A and B are shown apart, each in its own frame.
Chain A
């Protein structure tokens, strides 16, 4: 597609439920990143996929968080047993290989609210 597409754009869920967030990167982009932004804070790195290499999961805050990506296409970020502190905007970004001097291209994000 022309840009990075994320769905849903908004999600309200009850505490304890599982959620899945989806990211469609720009076609041909081998690298895909997930970030989140909690209220009043900066973007927090979560996970990074590069081609068929093992993902860099160093930013995942707990084992309730996981992400998958099939090849160089869609990625899903799954949060199990959601907690109120998981409320944030989850942003996906992609780049052609390692990002060049212009960084990544971001999607519009998924606003997750855990009630």
Chain B
């Protein structure tokens, strides 16, 4: 099956930029997503990128995709304490229905 890997933890100071990384193995992935999960809550869709793009920006969020290296990153500018959460990357396979494969999640801690 598909493998989606993320580092488990990241700590940053409030006001700094955060960069959360993700690697995947399925070269036929069509879309890649970033979700945020706060404690005890469901997953909130933050943004997604089509596989033929290499960058997408949405306010404080910048997604970079290196398709050759199968590497996806999420940069959060001016990180705030409210950004503390677990961030999951996910990929959608080319064939099949709408199945998403999630990474292991990165717990972001923002230090005031």
Tell me if chain B binds chain A. Answer: no
